[in-house]
Amino acid sequence: MNSPDLNAYIRGLPKAELHLHIEGTLEPELIFELAARNHMAIPYSSVEALRAAYAFTDLQSFLDLYYAGASVLITEQDFYDMTMAYLRRARADGVLHAEIMFDPQTHTGRGVAIETVFAGIARALREVRAATGISSYLLMSFLRHLSEQEAFDTLAAALPLREQYNDVWIGIGLDSAELGNPPDKFARIFARCKELEFRLVAHAGEEGPAAYVSDALDVLHVERIDHGVRSEDDPALMQRLIRDQVPLTVCPLSNLKLCVVDALEQHNLARLLRQGAMVTINSDDPAYFGGYVGQNYLATAQALGLSKQELGTLARNSLESCFLPADQKQVLLGKLQGYLI
């Protein structure tokens, strides 16, 4: 298939996006706009100069810019505008359901109230749900470079909002610098979140070793692994992931930009998929990594020679792996089935 046809096929595929940091959707243009609106200075002369700084060598070099970029988010309207911009792009890429991570500590640490963060993001999710039927959930993520106590403080600040946002806030995630911040650092907070009946996910096996993936499953009791591409280093773990169909939310362009792989052609996504792992494709931080979810499907398909059938399997995996109730999931799977025949 030539590239325009493949692109159209991919964008038409009914899919879910399961690994997306809303702060990672802040495009340079919006960073400049919000900085001006909030009377803040940014240390770049232009949108182009900022975009040119997105040359990362590893996860930390990205995180430094990601937290700096997020510092222009001050008001509820800022969080709303960012979320609306993402949802517009997701819709154009055939996303019917999104499970979106957000990092309240990135904002509360700068004096922004957690209520402001929830309110702006949730208003956009609800409006889009009502207007288009595209559904979305929120996964509140703890920053793993911060302490266990800070995670507990964040949970305590967020819990009074749970009832007000129970149509969107359904889960908990774990992100930021992986190396040196192993899953067991967060064993107790994840145990508490499990008691509270949140759905649980965690980043593991992006830069960290396969053992972090095993520990995310055994110590944190997560239901999905964000990234997980290093799992291949442990054949017994790989067998387990395949046997138990543990979803891996893989982000190929992110892995390329953060030098987890040297070239997309060397990405192990096709190998994992062909071994029968529950692999999905996602965009992670699309404003920073050069593409939204459709572009991730397209670039990966081209680099690894994925067939249309395999692309359909990836879309099906995304719907199977989402946290929607079974009846709503079946509706989306039916739409995919209709598209594939």
Could you give the CA distance from residue 236 to residue 219 in angstroms, rounded to a whole number? 17
Catalytic residue among 17, 206, 207, 310: 206
Could you tell me the maximum CA-CA distance found in the chain, to the nearest angstrom? 54
Q: Is 206 a catalytic residue?
A: yes
Given 22, 59, 278, 332, the residue binding ligand HPA (CB under 6 A): 59
Q: Which is nearer to Zn ion, 146 or 340 (CB)?
A: 146
Tell me the torsion sign for CA atoms 286, 292, 293, 297. negative
Q: For the chain, how many helices (H) and strands (E)?
A: 17, 8
21 is known to lie in a ligand binding site: yes
Residue 24's binding partner among Zn ion, ligand HPA, none (Cβ under 5 to 8 angstroms by kind) is ligand HPA
Give the residue among 151, 242, 228 at the shortest CA–CA distance from 188. 151
Half-sphere exposure of 197 (CA within 13 A, CB side): 2
For position 93 contacting Zn ion by CB under 5 A, the verdict is no
Given 10, 14, 16, 24, the residue binding ligand HPA (CB under 6 A): 24
- Count of residues of this chain found to bind Zn ion when the rule CB under 5 A is applied: 1
Closest contact distance (angstroms) between CB of 216 and Zn ion is 13
Site for Zn ion in 267-306 (CB under 5 A): 284
Residue 210's binding partner among ligand HPA, Zn ion, none (Cβ under 5 to 8 angstroms by kind) is none
Residue 206's binding partner among ligand HPA, Zn ion, none (Cβ under 5 to 8 angstroms by kind) is ligand HPA
Site for ligand HPA in 92-151 (CB under 6 A): none
Give the residue among 109, 115, 211 at the shortest CA–CA distance from 157. 115
In the block, tokens 């590239």 appear at: 3
Could you give the CA distance from residue 104 to residue 106 in angstroms, rounded to a whole number? 5
For position 254 contacting ligand HPA by CB under 6 A, the verdict is yes
Could you give the CA distance from residue 313 to residue 273 in angstroms, rounded to a whole number? 9
For position 178 contacting Zn ion by CB under 5 A, the verdict is no
- Phi then psi dihedrals of residue 90, to 5 deg: -65, -40
Instruction: Please identify every residue annotated as catalytic.
Output: 206
Q: Which residues bind ligand HPA (CB under 6 A)?
A: 21, 24, 59, 66, 175-176, 203, 206, 254, 284-285
Binding residues: 19, 21, 203, 284-285
